[in-house]
Amino acid sequence: MYIGLRITEFSVMYGRRKFISFIGKASLGAATIPPFLTSCGNTTTPSKTFVQSDEARLNTLRKLAVEGLNPSDQDDLLLSNGLNYHTVIKWGDQISDDDFFGFNNDFTCFIPLNEDDPSDGLLWVNHENMDPLFVSDFNYREFDNPKEYHTLEQVDKEMYSVGGSIVRIKREGGKWMPVKNDPHNRRFTAKTPIKLNWDTPIEGKTTAIGTNSNCSGGITPWNTFLTCEENYHNCFGEITYDKDDIPSKTPSRYGWDEFYDYPPEHYGWVVEIDPKNGSAQKHIALGRFAHECCTLYELEDKRIVAYSGDDKANEHLYKFVSSVPGSLKEGTLYVADTVNGKWLSLDWESQPILKGKFKDQTEVLIRVREAAKLIGATELNRPEDIEIDPITGNVLVSLTNNYGKKDFHGSILKVEETDGKFDSLTFKASTFLAGGEENGFSCPDNLAFDLSGNLWITSDISGRAMNKEDGPYPPFKNNSLFVVPRYGKDEGKVIRIASAPRDAEFTGPWFSPDGTTLFLSVQHPGEQTTDLQNPTSRWPFDEDGVPKPAVVAITGDLIEKMNKLRLIEMNEPS
């Protein structure tokens, strides 16, 4: 059960100096942040100045009554009182004369272009996957053998619709709008060449073609975006090994490998995007698996700790610790043994069991799931998003569910690194919050801390199981966004703030740096549609009646009050 620490208690326990290092890392490192890009509205990212003890703001938070929504199966985006939304950008919108916004948006990240103006910046958005019914007019459900009917032209459209987008957005008259044709605007697709950040070629190449399956992500202290390749096997299949270590290829779900012979080993990585110039690289040292996200912490000596979960039932939680400041290449990858509280090294050189099975470190990283199991990593129930609690310094990990183990509602795991040191090789693991009817939510996926340290959670009940009377999910109805206040009378409660349109999940929660806007993706509304003339959702209610994934901006009194303490100080809105 969650027991929240009040901010004053925390500062007594840890002292002001350490508190700053959790909340306002960039108050230590602000001088090194390039003026081009400044802080993001996320307390695990660099900030400017920490405001510790503003009693007036704290009292606002303590008195705040958060009115929750009841579960709903309505086909609409519903919000608690005091909130409203507008659509920022949706699938098919032109971001330039040449490019348009992709499908199924997930992770979002906003970086202001100028630190003095939080209303103008670059929005990164992941495009995780696509439904050919919508993007290429290929209704595979009509065919017994769909492969025979899938065309190259359709596959090219599908490959364009995934990856990610950078789009400059500005707030004018209270609304965020894309700046079409801004020079920063660009698309990354399943065909964009991307460098492999590794000394050894992979499948004979130093560059991969494209990024795909971009689920959640992260941001670096040097203000680049991280986009994580999750269910990559859908695109170009996977290489599996039998008991004699003989490889074989399993075909992809999308059938792209029928047209393009790209090695599966080129996907399943963390990809870094530099918004200044559009350069991109895949970080091999972080391992290859269904990366949900990648959450970074910069140590005082500037070495980097990177957490990432493998979103597959019975897979693992990983942590990379760099040996060189600012590197995502030089260092050691570890995997969690949550039973014994140990980070286990995946270093080929020093682990005889890995030397006996794999030929070198590159093979360990490509086949890291097998390596993790060999050295005794703990199997987890779909580790998804990870955030560092800015108030306690604990690492929170969503464990979405595991049908095979009859864990239908999932939980949030708390990892307390020994002595609060993020490069520690030991930790304590416990359940922070359990999904289920008692706490009012199921299947936690994305996590975000707002500028006051309140925790926001999105749920991901699968479209196939949501609202099905014979399953475990009817009480929860549509996927939703929840908040767990850290102050006042609702402290520690899980409160439903938004309800998603039919079949959709909310993804990519991200706060603007002034705490006035919550950016949120609405992913796969109408996902269960089999006939375009009769979709299961009509959201966002365009004239054509076609459901469309979109990024929305949620604004209003409640967002501003929740962000009142503003652990990151920005220009004060009146």
For ligand FEO, the binding residues (CB under 6 A) are: 128, 215, 230, 292, 311, 384, 445
We find the least distance from the C-beta atom of residue 271 to ligand FEO, in angstroms, to be: 15
Judged by CB under 5 A, the stretch of 177-185, 321-329, 455-463, 469-477 that binds Ca ion is: 455-463
Q: Report the partner that residue 498 touches, choosing among Ca ion, ligand FEO, none (CB closer than 5 to 8 A by kind).
A: none
In this complex, which beta carbon is closest to ligand FEO, that of residue 216 or of residue 351? 216
Rg (CA), the chain: 22
Taking the C-alpha atoms of residue 78 and residue 399, their distance in angstroms, rounded to an integer, is: 26
Judged by CB under 5 A, the stretch of 87-95, 142-150, 335-343, 445-453 that binds Ca ion is: 445-453
In this complex, which beta carbon is closest to ligand FEO, that of residue 265 or of residue 384? 384
Taking the C-alpha atoms of residue 203 and residue 194, their distance in angstroms, rounded to an integer, is: 14
Q: Report the partner that residue 423 touches, choosing among Ca ion, ligand FEO, none (CB closer than 5 to 8 A by kind).
A: none
In this complex, which beta carbon is closest to ligand FEO, that of residue 311 or of residue 503? 311
Backbone φ, ψ for residue 90 (5° rounding): -140, 165
Residue 445 in the binding site for Ca ion (CB under 5 A): yes
Pairing of strands 313-315, 380-381: antiparallel
Taking the C-alpha atoms of residue 111 and residue 101, their distance in angstroms, rounded to an integer, is: 18
In this complex, which beta carbon is closest to ligand FEO, that of residue 313 or of residue 532? 313
Is the sign of the CA dihedral 430, 441, 60, 397 positive or negative?
positive
Q: Which helix (H) or strand (E) holds 188?
A: strand 186-188
In this complex, which beta carbon is closest to ligand FEO, that of residue 337 or of residue 384? 384
We find the least distance from the C-beta atom of residue 128 to ligand FEO, in angstroms, to be: 6
We find the least distance from the C-beta atom of residue 246 to ligand FEO, in angstroms, to be: 30
# residues near Ca ion by CB under 5 A: 2
Residue linked to tokens 């999932």: 410
Taking the C-alpha atoms of residue 194 and residue 54, their distance in angstroms, rounded to an integer, is: 46
Residue of 503, 508, 516, 499 lying closest to 558 (CA atoms): 516
- The size of the chain, in residues, is 574
Taking the C-alpha atoms of residue 228 and residue 408, their distance in angstroms, rounded to an integer, is: 25
In this complex, which beta carbon is closest to ligand FEO, that of residue 215 or of residue 366? 215
In this complex, which beta carbon is closest to ligand FEO, that of residue 453 or of residue 508? 508
We find the least distance from the C-beta atom of residue 465 to ligand FEO, in angstroms, to be: 15
Cβ-based neighbour number of residue 522 at 10 Å: 29
In this complex, which beta carbon is closest to Ca ion, that of residue 515 or of residue 525? 525
In this complex, which beta carbon is closest to ligand FEO, that of residue 75 or of residue 445? 445
We find the least distance from the C-beta atom of residue 254 to ligand FEO, in angstroms, to be: 15
Chain centroid to Cα 84, Å, comes to: 23
Judged by CB under 5 A, the stretch of 64-72, 108-116, 197-205, 437-445 that binds Ca ion is: 437-445
We find the least distance from the C-beta atom of residue 124 to Ca ion, in angstroms, to be: 16
In this complex, which beta carbon is closest to Ca ion, that of residue 433 or of residue 443? 443
Pairing of strands 280-283, 193-197: parallel
Measured between its terminal Cα atoms, the distance across the chain in Å is 38
Q: Report the partner that residue 230 touches, choosing among Ca ion, ligand FEO, none (CB closer than 5 to 8 A by kind).
A: ligand FEO
Q: Report the partner that residue 407 touches, choosing among ligand FEO, Ca ion, none (CB closer than 5 to 8 A by kind).
A: none
Residue 126 CB contacts under 8 Å (≥ 6 apart), including other chains: 105, 106, 107, 108, 163, 164, 214, 215, 216, 217, 227, 228, 508
Judged by CB under 5 A, the stretch of 68-76, 231-239, 426-434, 459-467 that binds Ca ion is: 459-467
Pairing of strands 550-555, 455-459: unpaired
Judged by CB under 5 A, the stretch of 11-19, 221-229, 456-464, 469-477 that binds Ca ion is: 456-464
We find the least distance from the C-beta atom of residue 215 to ligand FEO, in angstroms, to be: 3
We find the least distance from the C-beta atom of residue 370 to Ca ion, in angstroms, to be: 24
We find the least distance from the C-beta atom of residue 524 to ligand FEO, in angstroms, to be: 10
What type of residue sits at position 150? Answer: H
Residue linked to tokens 């996926």: 445
Backbone φ, ψ for residue 227 (5° rounding): -125, 130
Pairing of strands 550-555, 518-523: antiparallel
Residue of 458, 507, 482, 478 lying closest to 103 (CA atoms): 507
We find the least distance from the C-beta atom of residue 516 to ligand FEO, in angstroms, to be: 28
In this complex, which beta carbon is closest to ligand FEO, that of residue 335 or of residue 558? 335
| CB distance 469 to 491 below 8 Å | no
Judged by CB under 5 A, the stretch of 65-73, 221-229, 343-351, 454-462 that binds Ca ion is: 454-462
Chain centroid to Cα 152, Å, comes to: 31
| CB distance 564 to 507 below 8 Å | no
In this complex, which beta carbon is closest to ligand FEO, that of residue 418 or of residue 528? 528
Judged by CB under 5 A, the stretch of 271-279, 329-337, 435-443, 458-466 that binds Ca ion is: 458-466
* Residue nearest Ca ion, Cβ-based: 460
We find the least distance from the C-beta atom of residue 562 to Ca ion, in angstroms, to be: 23
Residue 460 in the binding site for Ca ion (CB under 5 A): yes
We find the least distance from the C-beta atom of residue 253 to ligand FEO, in angstroms, to be: 14
Residue of 467, 481, 484 lying closest to 77 (CA atoms): 481
Q: Which residues bind Ca ion (CB under 5 A)?
A: 445, 460
